[in-house]
Structure 1
Amino acid sequence: MRVTRSIFAAMASLWAAGAAVAQEQSVLPGQPYDWQMGLQEPMSPIEYQIQWFSNYTLAFIIPITILVAALLAWVIFRYRAGRNPVPSRTSHNTTIEVVWTLAPVIVLLFLAVPSFQLLTAQYNPPSEPELTVKTTGYQWYWGYEYQPTEASAEAAAEPVSFESYPLLDDDREAMGKADRNAYPHLLAVDNEMVVPVDTVIRLISTSADVIHSFALPSMGVKVDAVPGRLNEYWFEALREGMFYGQCSELCGQSHYNMPIAVRVVSKEQFAEWYAAASESLEDANALLTARIQSGDSVAVAGR
């Protein structure tokens, strides 16, 4: 009993310490933080559904775990050798067998229906995608290629493409990314993937060498990047900001340092960035960062 109390006391202290650390931090929406206990804040419709299904599943898992643990404890206590010197010779019980067959079937049906609904939603966007971005995994960085759409065709006739490398500490000051809260260690990159808010985006994932995985937790995105194969997914960012992910498939010695950074901006800001990026990515990123930091409004290119 004392050991059990000590374990629960230690867990409570750990939880309290984590909560205190989280409160002291300036946590940005949709970003991870130290001592985080739950999932990241959802920033897309799919991630909302994923977290709902997670909580829904826990509503079954927790009672079942408690029931099984209680039954085991009761059997250990009630049918131990000290209380039953002569073991029971019962071979079967029809009622119990019917119950433990039907109960799991019913539980699985309650889990299967919303599971299939979520799976269907993940691969069927609510509308035709307005933007297509091809992501290519390399050892150990990402490449992005924007396919021209009706919204961007006037801004640039050719697709915009670039590589995104992990941000080195020596380059932070020069790139205006010294704030480690906004640009965390091992998550910040030199060139973010820029996308517009409230826009259905088609994501095409592949790899140029080994298997990678494009994962963006706050957007509910996790797509394998397989050499010679194109995997398709979609997401829609519900608010502006910077959101991070990482390669989630072991791909070599620098797998830990293969971050994903997505900057979500207004549609007007994206149109201006896209037009500038077709000529100079560095100038486009510098202008976008400056406008965001200053809070100035951005006019649509060409107006």
Structure 2
Amino acid sequence: MQLKSLLLGLATTFTAAPAFAQQTLETIGVPVDRGTGFQPAATELARDLQWLDGMLLIIITAIVLFVTGLLAYCIVRYNRRANPTPSSFTHNTPIEIAWTVGPILILVFIGAFSLPVLFKQQEIPEGDLTIKVTGYQWYWGYEYIGEDLAYDGYMIGSPFTGGDNRMSADVEAQLIEAGYRKEDFLLATDTAVVVPVGKTVVMQVTGADVIHSWTIPAFGVKQDAVPGRLAELWFTAEKEGVYFGQCSELCGLAHAYMPITVKVVSEATYDAWLEASKNEGGYVDVRTLLTN
């Protein structure tokens, strides 16, 4: 009898495992402890920015090595021992032309690649989905334009006063219950921006009190939320998953504790989530709707 119960329990466990897996999203856009690189690029904009950063690093490294080499050469070639009788002159036209034209050409070359990246960010396309985001002290408000849906997003564990940045057992339980890891403390929010994968999302950004800044590093987007003004950014997420961001404009006492969570899901899941949220009159946990 005990053997039968054990086998039944194991069968139930393995049967339930795929269903549990369906209710999770891979965490992709997250800071890495002691990390020095970019988060994985999840949009075309982020890939462009990361490529541009790599190109500029090569140019800057070449300039530093060139200038360092010149300095070393001058130290060795023109020190007092090697050159006891220095020349005296006030101008060297070829050198002056070279150090004027050279930097101009470098800047023009950089501009030829950086300006198209900037214009791509600033030229807002027609969106498949438009969300208005409002920064408050210290949380975010979201309104899905054209849909009867609006909600606020607070950090799990808010209000948080900082201290030694240790979380309580109660906050850890809230994180686990919401489907996050305890390592996501200070990053995860009680609600999330839910968007469909592969669709163009336009965010209309403003502030209700002071200047905030809505930022998702993995998407390559950042936009100040200025009271009285409505700015826009856009992105097209290419992979389903969970992405974290932070307010990136100093906005007061709890500036460090107003994170951003974006969940990218399939179009079918998004449609089901949107309908369920509107029927409930507010945010519904998208995990309950995730399918293969």
Normalised to the residue count of structure 2, the TM-score between the two structures is 0.81
Q: Which has the higher contact order (CA 8 A, sep 6+)?
A: 2
SS at match of 2:284: helix
1:205-250 CA-partner distances (Å, limit 9, x unpaired): 1001111111110001100000111111110100100000101111
Residue 234 of structure 1: aligned partner: 234
Q: Distance in 1 between the 2:282 and 2:145 partners?
A: 19
Residue 72 of structure 2: aligned partner: 73
The correspondence of residues 91-130 of structure 1 with structure 2, limited to 5 A, is 91-125=90-124, 127-130=125-128
Q: Distance in 2 between the 1:265 and 1:275 partners?
A: 14
Residue 55 of structure 1: aligned partner: 54
Q: Aligned match of 1:161 in 130, 150, 154?
A: 150
- Does the CA-based 8 Å contact 2:194-2:264 persist in structure 1? yes
Q: Distance in 1 between the 2:80 and 2:142 partners?
A: 66
Q: Give me the identity figure in percent.
A: 40
SS at match of 2:64: helix
Q: Aligned match of 2:130 in 129, 132, 145?
A: 132
**1:270 aligns to 2:259 (yes or no):** no
> Per-residue deviation at 1:273?
0.9
Q: Distance in 2 between the 1:259 and 1:186 partners?
A: 7
Q: Aligned match of 1:145 in 122, 143, 157?
A: 143
> Per-residue deviation at 1:29?
2.8
Structure 2: tracts of 5 or more residues without a match: 1-25, 158-166
1:12-66 CA-partner distances (Å, limit 9, x unpaired): xxxxxxxxxxxxxxx9433221121211110001111111111111221110011
**What's the Cα RMSD here?**
2.0
- Does the CA-based 8 Å contact 2:180-2:188 persist in structure 1? no
Normalised to the residue count of structure 1, the TM-score between the two structures is 0.78
Change (3 A) 1:291 1:173: farther
The correspondence of residues 1-303 of structure 1 with structure 2, limited to 5 A, is 28-125=27-124, 127-148=125-146, 158-168=147-157, 170-174=170-174, 176-177=177-178, 179-180=180-181, 184-280=184-280, 284-285=284-285, 288-292=286-290, 296-297=291-292
SS at match of 1:73: helix
Q: Distance in 2 between the 1:279 and 1:290 partners?
A: 15
Aligned length: 255
Q: What is the letter of the counterpart of residue 151 of structure 2?
A: F
Structure 1: tracts of 5 or more residues without a match: 1-26, 149-157, 298-303
> Per-residue deviation at 1:186?
0.7
